[in-house]
Amino acid sequence: MKNYQRYRKGYYMPPVIALEWLRKEHPEKAPTWCSVDLRDGNQALIIPMSLEEKIEFYKLLVNVGFKEIEVGFPAASDTEFQFLRYLVDHDLIPEDVTVQVLTQAREHIIRKTFEALKGVKNAIVHVYNSTSVAQREQVFRKSKKEIKEIAVEGAKLLKDLTEEAGANYRFEYSPESFTGTEPEYALEVCNAVLDVWQPTPDHKAIINIPVTVEMSMPHIYGMQVAYISQNLKYRDAVELSLHPHNDRGCGVADCELGLLAGADRIEGTLFGNGERTGNADIVTVAMNLFALGIDPKLDFSNMPAIVEVYERVTRMNVHVRQPYAGELVFAAFSGSHQDAIAKGMKWIEEKDPEHWTVPYLYIDPKDVGREYDGGVIRINSQSGKGGVGYLMEQKYGLVMPKKMREDFSYYIKDVSDHRHQELLPDEIHDLFMQEYVNVESPMKLIDFLLKKEPDGVRAGEVHFEIDGKPLTFSARGNGRFDAISNAIQKNVGVAYTFGSYSEHAIDVGSTSRAMAYVSVADKEGKTVWGAGMDTDIITASAMALVSAINRMGNA
């Protein structure tokens, strides 16, 4: 590919750091989460959310469990300003929720931000300025000293205005474009800001290390975070925060390595919506912790409802393969995968183990509000007998014999292949009922009356309708099923060998129905299956036999 020579690494390696954090398997607990959907996410939408949509999204975030929510950039527009005022005026900020507002380190913008905060009890004022080499040289054309002074003056104004307001706001500082900044210089600026704020363990400041643009592999960012964490002043009085973007597709990895490296907090968006390629996907980061046995402190147990609100108010789509939330992330089309999942589900049901270990399913879909039926096992031309059989058993209570499952699965694969589409569970059930159950052409079983004789033999009459013509045959056999079979072979002129038989109830109670499965082999030895359903098990068995014979003639 041409032009690769134009690019070079735009990041800076930190000085020597302690690397013990790399030996950790995972964080010990969930970080503090801060949703920036209403600011960072909203500004990335083609059509920004209306006031009503932002309110609905805000309420969703509160219900999910976010305790810190960035509600906007109040000085950026009247809409942003009015949204915060609406939350205040309508008492929509719970006692345990802190709203966060963003402001550049510029005096008039900071003052406008504080106007919007009047009446807010719990707030984080997040101030930032760019510190990267490219921004210093190309945008601001200022020296390191001058850039640091912007940050310090902004920090002072935050402190002064908070004291004037008699408020107890918390402060956050971001060296924007951190990933393109020399780590030593970023540390110097952050420490200068902290010297102004003088945080304490009881009133912590937040230092946010943003991946404004991803420039390196995630382990480099991890080392940059570790360097800041290990050298930051007032460390026990600082929450070290991450704000990764996703330019290299590594936003989640940046979060995970940053947490190992010492970070305490993550700013991101649901499903990763944000500028350019997006922000860190909080759903994925949180659910990754969940899947490692760590309580994420966020509730995604009804993921479909969360997706519905998100897609409606943002006009964005959650991709069908989006981790944990996509429509198809738990779906298995492959026959071998379906078979393993079906067997794993059965094993879990029988053994009730302490931990989830089903093959191909990283977590239990029910933990995020997804159902197995039609969600995990998906049927198309690639599917196998295990998947079709599992679906029919779990959703419809139909426990076909193993060989019949195989026969039916080939039939379904052929239908799906010719239609060039996936088959939904109800379609598959309908096809089974139409093709295998109570097949009445050309021969239809009308009724039978078979009495037990002194020698134990059953004898009597069987009534049929064949090609529309009513016929009655004498029947005799060791049982009613045998008698009906003998009557057919003697009078209808069809030759077959009886194969296998099984039955079960498919409902509970006085109106329960029985399902019977029968296989027969024609004179060439080809096996054909039929099924019968009735409230009477003998009738169901006879209808299954008739279905198999009819299908044998239609094969």
Q: What is the pLDDT of residues 235-292, one digit of tens each?
A: 999 999 999 999 999 999 999 999 999 999 999 999 999 999 999 999 999 999 999 9
Q: Using one digit for the tens of pLDDT, what is the confidence trace for 397-420?
A: 999 999 999 999 889 888 888 888
CB 44 within 8 A of CB 312: no
| Nearest alpha carbon to residue 173 among 135, 130, 113, 121 | 130
Whether omega before 442 lies within 30 degrees of 0, making that bond cis, reads: yes
Determine the pLDDT at residue 382.
62
How many Cβ atoms are within 10 Å of 498's Cβ, its own excluded?
A: 15
Tell me how crowded residue 380 is: count the other CB atoms within 10 A of its CB: 18
pLDDT of residue 392: 87
Asked if pLDDT for residue 367 goes beyond 80, the answer is yes
Among 54-58, 288-292, 377-381, 539-543, where is mean pLDDT lowest?
Answer: 377-381
Taking residues 177-197, report their average pLDDT: 98
What is the spatial distance between Cα 438 and Cα 443, in angstroms, rounded to a whole number? 10
Whether 4-314 and 443-554 share one fold: the answer is no
Q: Indicate the pLDDT class of residue 373, thresholds 50, 70 and 90.
A: low
Separation CA 544–CA 11 (nearest Å): 72
Domain ranges of the chain: 4-314, 335-435, 443-554
Per-residue DSSP letter, 136: I
Q: What average pLDDT does this structure show over 157-178?
A: 96
243, 263 Cβ separation under 8 angstroms: no
Tokens found for residue 420: 């060039």
Question: What are the C-alpha distances in Å from 4 to residues 1, 7, 8, 9, 217?
Answer: 7, 6, 9, 12, 17
Tokens of 362: 């990283």
Q: What is the rounded distance in angstroms from the CA atom of residue 376 to the CA atom of residue 340? A: 12
Looking at residue 508, its pLDDT comes to 57
Which position has the higher pLDDT, 343 or 71? 71
* Percent of the residues in the chain that have a pLDDT greater than 90, as a whole number: 80
Q: Burial, 306: exposed, middle or buried (Cβ in 10 Å; 0-12, 13-18, 19+)? A: buried
pLDDT at 387: 72
Span of 109-123, 216-230, 445-459, 506-520 with lowest mean pLDDT: 506-520
In this prediction, residue 386 carries a pLDDT of: 65
Which DSSP helix (H) or strand (E) runs through 479? none
d(CA 213, CA 181): 11
For residue 378, the model assigns a pLDDT of: 64
pLDDT, greater one: 509 or 130: 130
Other CB atoms within 10 Å distance of the CB of residue 456: 8
For residues 342 and 292, which has the higher predicted lDDT (pLDDT)?
292
Mean pLDDT value across the chain:
92
Structure tokens at 65: 């469990």
Q: What pLDDT is recorded for position 456?
A: 84
pLDDT digits (tens, 9 = 90+) for 471-489: 999 999 999 999 999 999 9
Number of Cβ atoms within 10 Å of the Cβ of 343 = 14
What is the four-CA torsion angle of 59, 62, 63, 67, rounded to 10 degrees?
A: 180
> Whats the size of the chain, residue-wise?
555
Q: Any idea which fold 4-314 has?
A: TIM Barrel (3.20.20)
Tell the residue number behind the tokens 């009881």, with chain if given: 202
d(CA 105, CA 152): 9
Under DSSP, is residue 333 helix (H, G, I), strand (E, B) or coil?
coil
The edge-to-edge listing of strands for the beta sheet with 458-466 is 443-452, 458-466, 469-477
Domain 443-554, classified CATH 3.30.160.270, yes or no:
yes
